[in-house]
Structure 1
């Protein structure tokens, strides 16, 4: 095989006395995961203290007396010192307890468990769509515009992907509803009653991420196409599919996954926002309701779960990078 992965230097041995490269790599990633999770627990707790308003007052209603509000604050544990509240919160997490909803008194784990499958369905479909569209699109544009050719195509690609990629998901979702649900009437505007109800929310989530990732793939492909081994491969007049799929694609995936992992992790947050636009029965609508009612445990639990999923997704990307390019196992970027 012609390519950097075939002729590049072997992965250097991990530092340490006989430590296998994969062992050192996994230890670093697990340590980073532990730090990220600890920081996430602290942030989700402190974030609730910054929300203006009193959840006890919101729960008791405007007609409640001061004594009734104070009694409710005591029952909810809001009158305890912050250190004591945090200790209780962290201890509960260690035992798998996310607390109880202030509003409905349901366990937060139960609230999240009943709605997370709907959010996961949108997010997974969007991720698959992003990968299926962004990689071929970015490669095709880079190949078509190699060496400064087809300048108009390059300019149009840059303009369209920049515009759509910068458009917030909820704005794009509103536009899609206006066009395809209200004006054309070909797709449902909200709900989850049918398979077709998935089309608009998945498109609203996937299109901005697709444009961002396609720009990354286009840039990485343009760099790969100028390498000596690609010139050699073109000189051998290999079939286009073999030339680009076998020799170009493996060598551009390292940089693409490094940046694309952040894009895909951010897609989870976009999923929650889009759910509110389409009245999708996932975590999004429940979080909006919890914010309005100052239901701290539901907000904390949802943000924590989404943060853990994003962290695990980034770790999965790191593992894929290690498999594709062993040189990254030593903590160094491939040249």
Structure 2
């Protein structure tokens, strides 16, 4: 009897093909990173161009707004020349890129301070608000969604399912600024339990964080519920049930880990949106972050400050999206293979 020899399959690692698999994996990573970085560079170029053009599309003279209506035309013209606003638009665009690449975003017309200094002072307040809102979202959305799936699985408790989907769907579509106004009216005006504005202590964080988080809790919990219903219908869950595993252990040990990947992915994407969502919420609560600053800079046509804040917002969203993509590939390398 002669021995039969079989070649190792593509998916089986052996001493012979292990180096090839490592080379292939390294190539996939390089391709993945090159694609993502090229997309990031393209997105940044588009972002900078939009930031440059959008603020200039707003009617009004920024120099006249900064100097006041009583300033003479000669003073206005001299100020415009000193700022380079009398140059052709294409030359202003090139100068803008030059300053951006050297870290010089210019000086704010209205505040008479370097834009980088203004952003450095006010960015922490915005990040605090967004990160706290994200933590609150995930802390409540994941268990709510998992509990809703467990209670309504298999078509049980139709009334509870209808009530949950109706309420969560309604809350998810309410704009943050309307939620903020409602929270102010109830907790600050009617009951006077919390401060209405400012960033003066732990209590001042509650209302703006809730205004940002409530819609996200409703929306993310619906996604978690849908994912949980799918997970709870898998064969390994049925096997665990057949072994009479306790419900707590079943959900915490088997269902929850399979939900965390999608939940964290959604959370990362939501964080980028939260930064943009802080604009109106900060204005409502007089929060000293970038949101209130960009509203003021646009009203005054403060080119350097508005451009700088728009770019910071956009870069934050782009970098968070890139980080989410990298984490997904680390958790599931097959996602990089699918793109290639």
- C-alpha displacement of 1:84: 0.8
Find the aligned partners of 1:240 and 1:300 in 2 and give their Cα distance: 53
1:62 to 56, 69, 93: 69
**Does residue 206 of the first structure (1) align with residue 232 of the second (2)?**
no
Find the aligned partners of 2:27 and 2:289 in 1 and give their Cα distance: 43
2:241 to 206, 223, 234: 234
**Does residue 187 of the first structure (1) align with residue 222 of the second (2)?**
no
The corresponding residue for 1:313 is 320
- C-alpha displacement of 1:241: 3.0
Deviations for 1:16-65, whole angstroms, at most 9, x for unmatched residues? 96734433333332222222222211111121222122212212322334
Structure 1: gaps of 5 or more residues: 1-8
Could you say if the C-alpha distance between residues 260 and 198 of structure 1 is closer, same or farther in structure 2, counting changes exceeding 3 Å? closer
Residues 84 and 92, structure 2, Cα contact 8 Å, conserved in 1: yes
Count of residue correspondences: 324
Residues 254 and 325, structure 1, Cα contact 8 Å, conserved in 2: no
Mapping for residues 130-279 of structure 1, pairs under 5 Å: 130-279=137-286
Deviations for 1:209-256, whole angstroms, at most 9, x for unmatched residues? 111111111111112222222222222222223322232223334444
- C-alpha displacement of 1:291: 1.6
Find the aligned partners of 2:252 and 2:28 in 1 and give their Cα distance: 28
The corresponding residue for 2:110 is 103
Structure 1 residue runs of 4 or more that deviate by more than 4 Å after TM superposition: 13-18, 257-260
1:123 to 120, 125, 130: 130
**Does residue 112 of the first structure (1) align with residue 100 of the second (2)?**
no
- C-alpha displacement of 1:148: 0.9
- C-alpha displacement of 1:149: 0.8
Find the aligned partners of 2:113 and 2:132 in 1 and give their Cα distance: 29
Could you say if the C-alpha distance between residues 56 and 15 of structure 1 is closer, same or farther in structure 2, counting changes exceeding 3 Å? farther
> Which one is further off, 252-261 or 125-134?
252-261
- C-alpha displacement of 1:164: 1.5
> Which one is further off, 261-270 or 128-137?
261-270
2:91 to 84, 109, 123: 84
- C-alpha displacement of 1:276: 1.0
TM-score normalised to the size of structure 1?
Answer: 0.89
The corresponding residue for 2:17 is none
> Which one is further off, 120-129 or 26-35?
26-35
- C-alpha displacement of 1:136: 1.2
- C-alpha displacement of 1:187: 0.8
Residues 14 and 20, structure 1, Cα contact 8 Å, conserved in 2: no
> Which one is further off, 312-321 or 78-87?
312-321
The corresponding residue for 2:56 is 49
Residues 162 and 211, structure 1, Cα contact 8 Å, conserved in 2: yes
Residues 144 and 221, structure 2, Cα contact 8 Å, conserved in 1: yes
Structure 2: gaps of 5 or more residues: 1-10, 13-19
- C-alpha displacement of 1:66: 3.8
Could you say if the C-alpha distance between residues 168 and 303 of structure 1 is closer, same or farther in structure 2, counting changes exceeding 3 Å? same
The corresponding residue for 1:322 is 329
Could you say if the C-alpha distance between residues 216 and 18 of structure 1 is closer, same or farther in structure 2, counting changes exceeding 3 Å? closer
Deviations for 1:282-330, whole angstroms, at most 9, x for unmatched residues? 1122222212211111111111111111111112222222232222232
Find the aligned partners of 1:251 and 1:21 in 2 and give their Cα distance: 25
Give the aligned CA root-mean-square deviation in angstroms.
Answer: 2.4
The corresponding residue for 2:40 is 33
Could you say if the C-alpha distance between residues 299 and 229 of structure 1 is closer, same or farther in structure 2, counting changes exceeding 3 Å? same
> Which one is further off, 226-235 or 135-144?
226-235
TM-score normalised to the size of structure 2?
Answer: 0.88
Residues 213 and 263, structure 1, Cα contact 8 Å, conserved in 2: no
Find the aligned partners of 2:339 and 2:266 in 1 and give their Cα distance: 15
The corresponding residue for 1:297 is 304
